[in-house]
Amino acid sequence: MNKLKIFRKKELNNKNRSFKVFFNDQYIGKLEDGVEYKDFEVDSFHGKLKISVDWCSSNTQKVEFKKGQDNVKVFETSSSIPNYAFLIIIFGCILSTVLYFIFKQSIFAITPLVLILYPLWMITFGRKRYLRLTLR
């Protein structure tokens, strides 16, 4: 039997959201938040692996198994928005809002809008690249 072992990184921006796992465009299971590794058994010796969350998805990985032996392929998935960027965006918005009320400068009012453009871009136009899926 062929196995796919998928590692999910812990992230703030995907907290409490489960990832759906697709092999050859068929749903084979989900990765819950807090679960680091999960195994999925597949019958096919070749196919395409993809992960999705809500309306966003990952890149597609081609998977090839050798015939005649038990195979395990290990993949890692994570968001394309790293945790530190997510924290910078949150603290930057809070800081610029406080500075706006202190100094009454319009540049501080515009800064939160600029900071949230990257996540907005990733969940709209970049939605097919929101998650990363890599072979370990």
- Domain CATH for 26: 2.60.40
The whole-number average pLDDT for the span 21-43 is: 91
Residues 52, 58: Cα–Cα separation, whole Å:
6
pLDDT at 111: 81
19 and 51 housed in the same domain? yes
> Is 130 a domain residue?
no
Q: Please give the sequence-ordered ranges of beta strands (E in DSSP) within the chain, or none if there are none.
A: 2-8, 19-23, 26-31, 37-42, 46-53, 56-57, 61-64, 72-79, 131-135
For 56, counting Cβ atoms within 10 Å of its Cβ (0-12 exposed, 13-18 middle, 19+ buried), the class is buried
Domain span at residue 87 reads: 83-122
> Is 128 a domain residue?
no
Say which amino acid occupies 70.
D
90 and 54 housed in the same domain? no
How many structural domains compose the chain? 2
46 and 7 housed in the same domain? yes
51 and 116 housed in the same domain? no
53 and 108 housed in the same domain? no
Q: What does the pLDDT look like over 81-94, one tens digit per residue?
A: 888 887 888 888 89
The proportion of the chain whose per-residue pLDDT surpasses 90, expressed as a percent, equals 46
